[in-house]
Structure 1
């Protein structure tokens, strides 16, 4: 029973909230973890402890984030990775901000219609954008972590030192908890297709049970090579050779030339304000920051605090804002290195005012009638997010992924590295839904060296005076953006602390399909009836969404408050 306390807490919380038996501020939520000097919030307590150890030994938030990222590749293989990619948002103690884009890139052999059969239909199963060797983009995680360390690390730790905790975890092993055992068993059909995946994660059919030790010697050896040869070893050394040879044997598309040509990029974050608070988030090729700001701009014109945090009125206007922003996402978003993305127009407050004026407070729009607007200048559910704040005030919000749970299912032979299935985040057939049901436009069509569109939304929020307030992010495919949106609204409009804001029930609308998704026990029956009376189509299958991880600085005391999500995380945040 103790192992399942987080699930019990989550269900109790949802029941209490849905019944109207508690207020937002007094919700049945565990208190956030409190710490004076530093904090790490991730989905894995082991990985968070790795990060806090780096902070205690004098490392900064970037040092700790790199150690956490590699540790998660061992302890949370469904999404933590060396074979995927993501985004790191950094705010330094002097106020400078930057974004590290280490999103995967399409191989040189990629083409617009590579996942269509001779009849123009999407290929299913092996050879598709979802499963197997042809589903992977060129991984970016190692290069992204290296760029962050080179430019923003403290200088107190070497690359090899920051990889050592992960190497040791892979070599010596760690205890399989209930969550990991269940996850591996649930993914047996995918992992069982490929020799090394089956051997490492399924023990050739003898499933790992809770309490057993899992060791990953091939991954440990890869990490040791990276320690000795540096980050380019992954792209030019023995690891690169092993990946490329396995790809060639199985008709994959990634070559040594692709690996050698991968580069991580530093980009300027997107930013705006919401009720005076500064919102800083990811630019394209993530759609997260732009869509988040567009929705906040629309909602800024409504008094959400007066409406009440769980009212049908609030959920109505929030769903309508989501609907309009996701319609724009489908039309306008892509890799800004390849296509013109009208970022300035999409996040302009006057554009939001025009969209807001189309919302009827008494009646839901239909997605058939809501089209992309005309701004000026016109992901797997199994992603994972972690965030770090150090004693000097440096902040890192990092979201990275393999896309689907365990990515393509392929462990590149001899490496222990699970490979992504990020090619599905392109529009394999523009206008046809991807694995998340998202409609994607021509701007996100496949092209060599292009980066697929993402929903990852690592976000930092500042007080009106410019000081750090909180940071948050989440996995969840397209629900990522709406998860971050609701955490921000819960804090700014409804006065919740970071843990309450993360624990509270969530809704999700992504334009198409035209349905409002909600969580089990998340909406009271009269709220559901009121939303349906307005014309909203509620999902027939409520489900939990996201795994938000956040850190807040308490205004009165300056104490750091760390929060993890009871929906998935295996323990509270870790601080010191």
Structure 2
């Protein structure tokens, strides 16, 4: 089976394409509203493309829900720039994608400002409350208490989304905050139809959600979660959004909303107080930067581990002729897996909040360190994880998440990834607010050497401290060619975000794929521990056999990542929403 035939197994829509059938655009969760071009366009080498991306001439939005995508496109049409559209999408997803979109969580945004040529990373990651401590999830015997960091009020970090989106809007947008929140208010107040995808998630998570009266009031009908076709109306969230639209982020961090969140915490043993909410700060950081085969890669720095390790891995992989080795070949997957193991071993040791611990970013992303790591890779044999320890970069010093990408006609682009952590976060809605609260405290290292919900192991660099930001894998990324945006991408997926984003970059640069082809490709992942090479179904059995002969423990597990990618070419904008999420959509004008 060749790699294109393998891709045809990924979804019914993709299968139909491979079979040469004609499907309506909407059935593929892709939409476009583009005016006819004034002259014939030379598109993406259509004769060579297996899957065709969405095209637009002026602006484009790619997100995990069609309603949020349309909100973004409408903002662009009204004269907003990419930041205006991104902020509008962020608030809209808090309504229509409640399992991941949020104003009760946090995340990261990378912005390319065309006028100045400046790239900026906006950190609105959650923070630990003042009363948090490194042993707060341990029992009297020093053992981690199951689910205390996931489904209790102690799991909630101080939310950063409202502060982050408002900061981006005020500093880099053109419209008002009220302008970009208005569509989300309408969606929350009038409601929207629950999709089969959302209904399935509600069913899976019903036991966690049913524990809390305020959560049941929104997401349940009687004693059962909402089903496909039901209307999801959230009047309390609409009112919270109205307060933010009228009074800015202070409404969330110092007003009635803050009081209600603190009261929710107080009733159930949570730690967040009104003082904690008032103390929250957004941080602008310099994006971590690297180069790969002549392209410039800009991504999120710590407390995200994503950008650092994407560049670290690309530095190593640049030493291998991936194009000649072939996409999805055993040789390519082998060197990628070995590189992933080395990077995730370093992640366990060195990554954390840079305001609390020294993170050797320069060493980890240096070419000299990559040269040392590349020498450790046996091209014919897998190295057991037990034989890999964190390296020494210092001498070189000198799931549920969602991602959306936006590009406008002025050359501004935005990559944003934000999260509640697991599906629906803690499952707790702060009574009277309609706001689902995160369980991001699980992203700290509850105890050195003990895996979190994604199987990731951490150490002292990521230990819990008051007002510290937990380590993240979120990796909103912009790739530039000759100083101008060429690719905007990112993905949800917990620990798999980093490898999914890296593979997307490699697909485009090394293998010449377009956003649709890359999104449909089978993905692989290795995170050092557990010592297994995780792959999606669709990989050739012959390739799997060769990898096993090299010593890899290959396991087929559920799909990884849901990329939202836009590529900027002279002939226009080309984008695609990952077919792994049937609710996602890319649209433009």
In 2, the alpha carbon distance for the partners of 1:50 and 1:260 equals 30
In 2, the alpha carbon distance for the partners of 1:45 and 1:354 equals 45
Corresponding residue SS for 2:472 = coil
Preserved CA contact (<8 Å) 2:69 2:585: no
Aligned-residue offset at 1:14: 10
Cα 1:13–1:437 change in 2 (3 A) is: farther
Q: For residue 135 of structure 1, what is the aligned residue in structure 2?
A: 155
> Structure 2 matches for 1:108-507, cutoff 5 A?
108-125=130-147, 128-154=148-174, 157-377=175-395, 381-463=399-481, 465-507=482-524
Q: 1:550 aligns with which of 556, 560, 565?
A: 565
Preserved CA contact (<8 Å) 1:460 1:470: yes
Cα 1:13–1:361 change in 2 (3 A) is: farther
CA RMSD, aligned part only? 1.8
Aligned-residue offset at 1:29: 5.2
Q: 2:58 aligns with which of 37, 44, 49?
A: 37
> How big is each residue's C-alpha offset from its partner over 1:222-243, in whole Å with a ceiling of 9 and x where there is no partner?
1111122221110000000000
Corresponding residue SS for 1:120 = coil
Cα 1:212–1:28 change in 2 (3 A) is: farther
1:105 corresponds to 2:127? yes
> Structure 2 matches for 1:487-566, cutoff 5 A?
487-521=504-538, 523-539=539-555, 541-555=556-570, 557=571, 559-566=572-579
Aligned-residue offset at 1:30: 3.9
> How big is each residue's C-alpha offset from its partner over 1:364-411, in whole Å with a ceiling of 9 and x where there is no partner?
001101111111358xx1100001000101000000000000001100
Corresponding residue SS for 1:183 = helix
Preserved CA contact (<8 Å) 2:131 2:271: yes
In 2, the alpha carbon distance for the partners of 1:15 and 1:483 equals 27
In 2, the alpha carbon distance for the partners of 1:450 and 1:376 equals 23
1:51 corresponds to 2:72? yes
In 1, the alpha carbon distance for the partners of 2:11 and 2:542 equals 25
Q: For residue 83 of structure 1, what is the aligned residue in structure 2?
A: 104
Corresponding residue SS for 1:246 = helix
Q: For residue 24 of structure 2, what is the aligned residue in structure 1?
A: none
Q: Which runs of 5+ in 2 are unaligned?
A: 1-8, 21-44
Corresponding residue SS for 1:278 = strand
In 2, the alpha carbon distance for the partners of 1:122 and 1:110 equals 15
| TM-score, length of structure 2 as denominator length | 0.92
In 2, the alpha carbon distance for the partners of 1:12 and 1:478 equals 31
Preserved CA contact (<8 Å) 1:101 1:265: yes
Cα 1:106–1:550 change in 2 (3 A) is: same
Aligned-residue offset at 1:352: 0.2
Aligned-residue offset at 1:571: 4.2
In 2, the alpha carbon distance for the partners of 1:527 and 1:354 equals 28
Aligned-residue offset at 1:6: 8.5
Aligned-residue offset at 1:441: 1.2
Cα 1:392–1:133 change in 2 (3 A) is: same
Aligned-residue offset at 1:150: 1.4
Preserved CA contact (<8 Å) 2:17 2:51: no
> How big is each residue's C-alpha offset from its partner over 1:19-48, in whole Å with a ceiling of 9 and x where there is no partner?
xxxxx9989854211101100000001000
Preserved CA contact (<8 Å) 2:10 2:520: no
Corresponding residue SS for 2:387 = coil
In 1, the alpha carbon distance for the partners of 2:585 and 2:185 equals 24
Aligned-residue offset at 1:572: 3.2
Preserved CA contact (<8 Å) 1:14 1:505: no
In 1, the alpha carbon distance for the partners of 2:554 and 2:19 equals 19
| TM-score, length of structure 1 as denominator length | 0.94
Aligned-residue offset at 1:206: 3.3
Q: Which runs of 5+ in 1 are unaligned?
A: 17-23
> Structure 2 matches for 1:60-71, cutoff 5 A?
60-71=81-92
Corresponding residue SS for 2:218 = helix
In 1, the alpha carbon distance for the partners of 2:312 and 2:474 equals 15
In 2, the alpha carbon distance for the partners of 1:124 and 1:35 equals 48
Corresponding residue SS for 2:167 = helix
> How big is each residue's C-alpha offset from its partner over 1:412-464, in whole Å with a ceiling of 9 and x where there is no partner?
0110000000000000111100000001111000000000000000000011x
In 2, the alpha carbon distance for the partners of 1:533 and 1:205 equals 51
Aligned-residue offset at 1:93: 0.9
Aligned-residue offset at 1:501: 1.2
Q: For residue 36 of structure 2, what is the aligned residue in structure 1?
A: none
In 2, the alpha carbon distance for the partners of 1:202 and 1:560 equals 40
> How big is each residue's C-alpha offset from its partner over 1:48-94, in whole Å with a ceiling of 9 and x where there is no partner?
00001010000000011000000000000000001000000000113
In 2, the alpha carbon distance for the partners of 1:178 and 1:137 equals 30
Preserved CA contact (<8 Å) 1:27 1:500: no
Cα 1:304–1:48 change in 2 (3 A) is: same
Q: For residue 573 of structure 1, what is the aligned residue in structure 2?
A: 586
Aligned-residue offset at 1:182: 1.1
